Amino acid sequence: MNHHDLRSGSAARSSGSRTGTRQGGPDLLSNVLGLVRLNGERIYSAELGGSWGLSFDAGPGHFVYVKEGTAFVDVGQEADVKLSEGDLLLLAHGSGHRLRGGPDETSYRRYGIEVGSDQPTIQVDGPGEQTLLLGGSFRFAGDALPSVLEPLPTMIRVSRCVGSNAEWLETLSYFLLAEATVSAPGASLMISRLIDVLVIRTIRSWAEQGGSKSGWLGAVGDPQIGRALIAIHDDPFRPWTVADLARTAAMSRSVFAERFVSRIGVPPLRYLTNVRLTSASDLLGTGMLSVGDVARRVGYASEAAFSRAYKSRFGHSPADARPRLADGARATDAGNAATGRATKG
């Protein structure tokens, strides 16, 4: 984005930085993952014995937790993954996948995304090792998914044997299993909230334990670049320059710019543009603001320049995004949060 495309200071929030009391690592994760808004859809439990195989359609994100026994996961081109008792697998990109009880199983029973509503419990009787699975589906709101979760792999496996994973996995699985097996008032809200916590906690554990070093995840172990990213997310409508961000990171401009690209994969101002456009997507999702209003709120002086940048980022025009993203309370909540960010100060 060229600086002449921005109305300097017109949409900026308070210019006071709050990064002085923060560090890299988990605080950076909190800032970036704060852009991730998801809606947990359904959960199910599966009691499986003998020879079994389950097939799930692509579409929503999915998680599988092995309460007892073992399971093999097949996600197309990826190598099969064996899950043991206490393991959790996150499929954030919504890849279609198949689960089976043994490495040689070839027969599958197909399940769509309706699992967990009409059939909260899947049961396959048979001899041999019994497997108890807990699974669920979720969707991400708006257009945050491509920009925030791009660095994530198709599958994220979290083992109970690493760090403190056993504690939070057992706690969350206990409550999820209760909601999957007992119908009670408020169940849909509980399911959505629990899946939200599970997905964010899984990504955080994976990142802290090595994870990928591409995208914003590459800055988790780099406190200086992390400070710059936190500054961007805290105040995305400030007219940042590379020099400003370099000072925040306590680095020279040239060294900062080079390290930012090596860690994040894009130049600092392009990353800033992506954050602003994600906020614009939230605002459009309310269905309450015109494209011109959104353009001004996120800092563009020209609606045409905003439309070009938005389409380049998301593949569709902001005008097309308004009715596509407006879907009731979910979009309204996301838009209200973004409006608060855009108008603060």
Distance separating alpha carbons of residues 87 and 116, to the nearest angstrom: 20
132 versus 279: which is more confidently predicted?
Answer: 132
For residue range 86-111, what is the model confidence (pLDDT) as tens digits? Answer: 899 998 888 888 888 877 766 666 65
Residues 6+ apart with CB under 8 A from 210: none
Q: Where are the domains of the chain?
A: 3-24+222-343, 38-208
- Same fold across 3-24+222-343 and 38-208: no
Distance in angstroms between the alpha carbons of the first and the last residue of the chain: 23
Give how far Cα 234 sits from Cα of 154, 266, 296, 325, 343, Å.
29, 19, 19, 24, 13
Distance separating alpha carbons of residues 176 and 23, to the nearest angstrom: 33
For residue range 176-209, what is the model confidence (pLDDT) as tens digits? Answer: 878 776 777 777 788 888 888 888 888 878 877 7
**Architecture in CATH for domain 3-24+222-343:** Orthogonal Bundle (1.10)
Among 15-29, 113-127, 183-197, 234-248, the range scoring the smallest mean pLDDT is 15-29
180 versus 317: which is more confidently predicted?
Answer: 317
Give how far Cα 42 sits from Cα of 117, 137, 141, 177, 187, Å.
6, 5, 16, 12, 10
Mean pLDDT of 104-132: 66
Mean pLDDT of 249-259: 95
Q: Calculate the average pLDDT of the chain.
A: 75
CATH superfamily placement of domain 38-208: Regulatory protein AraC (2.60.120.280)
Is the Cβ–Cβ distance between 338 and 282 less than 8 Å? yes
In this predicted structure, what is the pLDDT of residue 256?
Answer: 96
Q: What is the pTM of this model?
A: 0.63
